[in-house]
């Protein structure tokens, strides 16, 4: 039997790939490991279909399961993340690590991807009782959260039109430009405050360096100063 190039086999293969990629997105966005039932619901498929997707991702070490059968992203994705903007990743890691441990907050770098911000580098400090997970690959719309506001504030009108379809800046971006930093509360995760400053490097997409915490820090100015110093350190180390 002859199949058309765009026939059933190609469609099924594309659908399987799409489900696998969507599964990785769901796991990256989740605040905790997911059950197979929750993954199936997120994918909009039967548990048996979700399990087939899961087995393939497990075989390639993109996901792992714990003793309770809950699913989380696997270490293989860390290697893939290093391949995205490798020079930025290398330059950012020391500064982000120092920022996270000195402030006791999860610190990370995000980059603009179309109309979304994507986490590229993240460090959760081990010297505090509790931290907020922020996995590499997590993405959300640019109009939500401090990193998105900071990135938008760094764009020119022409850049904003190219990336976001309009040269008109949001109120949050205009405020971030005036202040030199962006702050958000409950915009991405309920009960979480984000603080971010822009990070612009030649040859890299518009970016921001940020921290997240459960509460607004007592010394906001001190946190902003540390963020700005980290951005300057990354720029100096960038090759």
pLDDT reported for residue 83: 59
- Asked if residue 2 belongs to a domain, the reply is no
What does the pLDDT look like over 55-67, one tens digit per residue?
999 988 888 998 8
pLDDT band at 80 (very low <50, low <70, confident <90, very high): low
CATH classification at residue 64: 1.10.10.10
Together in a domain, 34 and 151: no
Together in a domain, 87 and 24: no
What does the pLDDT look like over 10-61, one tens digit per residue?
466 688 889 998 898 888 777 788 999 999 999 999 999 999 999 999 988 8
CATH classification at residue 168: 3.30.450.40
What does the pLDDT look like over 151-188, one tens digit per residue?
999 999 999 999 999 999 999 999 999 999 999 998 98
The CA distances from residue 7 to 17, 77, 238, in Å, are 16, 32, 47
pTM: 0.72
Together in a domain, 228 and 164: yes
Together in a domain, 14 and 129: no
* pLDDT-above-90 percentage for the chain: 56
- The average pLDDT across 193-220 equals 92
Residues 6+ apart with CB under 8 A from 160: 152, 166, 167, 168, 169
By residue range, what is the domain housing residue 19?
8-74
């Amino acid at each position: 039997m002859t199949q058309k190039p765009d026939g059933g086999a190609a469609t099924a293969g594309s659908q399987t790939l799409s489900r696998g990629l969507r599964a990785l997105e769901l796991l990256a966005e989740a605040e905790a490991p997911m059950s197979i039932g929750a993954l199936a619901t997120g994918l909009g498929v039967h548990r048996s279909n979700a399990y087939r997707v899961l087995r393939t991702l497990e075989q390639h070490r993109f996901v792992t399961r714990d003793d309770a059968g809950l699913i989380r992203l696997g270490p293989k994705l860390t290697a893939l993340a290093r391949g995205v903007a490798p020079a930025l990743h290398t330059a950012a890691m020391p500064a982000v690590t120092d920022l996270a441990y000195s402030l006791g907050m999860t610190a990370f770098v995000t980059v603009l991807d179309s109309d979304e911000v994507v986490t590229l580098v993240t460090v959760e400090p081990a010297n505090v009782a509790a931290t907020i997970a922020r996995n590499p690959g997590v993405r959300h719309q640019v109009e939500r959260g401090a990193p998105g506001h900071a990135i938008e504030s760094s764009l020119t009108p022409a850049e904003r039109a190219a990336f976001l379809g309009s040269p008109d800046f949001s109120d949050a971006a205009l405020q971030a430009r005036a202040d030199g930093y962006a702050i958000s509360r409950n915009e991405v995760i309920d009960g979480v405050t984000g603080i971010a400053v822009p990070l612009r490097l030649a040859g890299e997409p518009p970016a921001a360096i940020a921290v997240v915490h459960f509460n607004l820090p007592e010394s906001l100015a001190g946190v902003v100063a540390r963020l700005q110093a980290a951005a300057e350190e990354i720029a100096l180390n960038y090759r």
